[in-house]
Amino acid sequence: MQDKELWSWYKSGEISGLEGLYNAYYMPLANYGFKFTEDKSLIDESIQDLFQRLWRNRDATGTPPAVKQYLLLSFRQILLRKLQYSPSRLEETFSEEHVPFYLELSYEHPLIRAERAADLKKKVDALTDALTHRQREAIFLKYYEDLSFEEIAAILQINANGTYKLVYRALERLREHFVDFSLLVLLYLLQRR
């Protein structure tokens, strides 16, 4: 079922529309949440809060041009607010520019499993560690979630030109540090598919 149709049902008060959105987006939202924290209960709580707020505010909520972007942005704001005021994170400096974002390549990735290349994983992990948190998040949204630069800009709350620069600089940094492989292969390794 299409996002627009589910959104329309949700807006008209059909709980099945909200359930459809929840079922369609739970995994992408949870996956995105794990890039900020390993606290599964906090991620689940944030997803629940998002959908509860959506249901409570359905009359005041408009129809977004891109449902996925809207849900990712709303979820990000809820999760970051919870992380910012979490007792376990009070000692960390926390600002919009310095939000921790963890991008890690899984051992289950088919290319790595087929090649049995743990050393390659270490190299890729070291490279992603060389990126800023913001660059990691932009790369994740672009190449894992297939969002446009404009959608990423809205989620990160920067302008589209800033998003182009952020992704470009991240790719340049990866290209500088990973001369053994083409950028195309590197991006393939970074994708979850």
| Structural domains of the chain in order of their starting residue, each with its CATH number | 3-89 (1.10.1740.10), 101-190 (1.10.10.10)
Mean pLDDT of the chain: 80
Sign of CA dihedral 115, 120, 122, 126: negative
Task: Report the predicted TM-score, pTM, of the whole model to 2 decimal places.
Answer: 0.64
The predicted pLDDT at position 48 comes to 97
Question: Taking Cα atoms as reference points, which of 97, 68, 74 lies closest to residue 7?
Answer: 68
Inform me whether the pLDDT recorded for 90 exceeds 50. Answer: no
Look at 142 and 184; give whichever has higher pLDDT: 142
The predicted pLDDT at position 192 comes to 41
pLDDT band at 89 (very low <50, low <70, confident <90, very high): low
Say how far apart CA 52 and CA 104 lie, in whole Å: 30
According to DSSP, residue 92 is labeled S
According to DSSP, residue 152 is labeled H
Q: Each residue of 94-152: pLDDT tens digit?
A: 555 566 776 655 555 444 455 445 666 666 677 778 888 899 899 889 888 889 999 99
The predicted pLDDT at position 1 comes to 59
Say how far apart CA 23 and CA 62 lie, in whole Å: 21
Look at 81 and 123; give whichever has higher pLDDT: 81
Ranges 37-51, 113-127, 165-179, most confident = 37-51
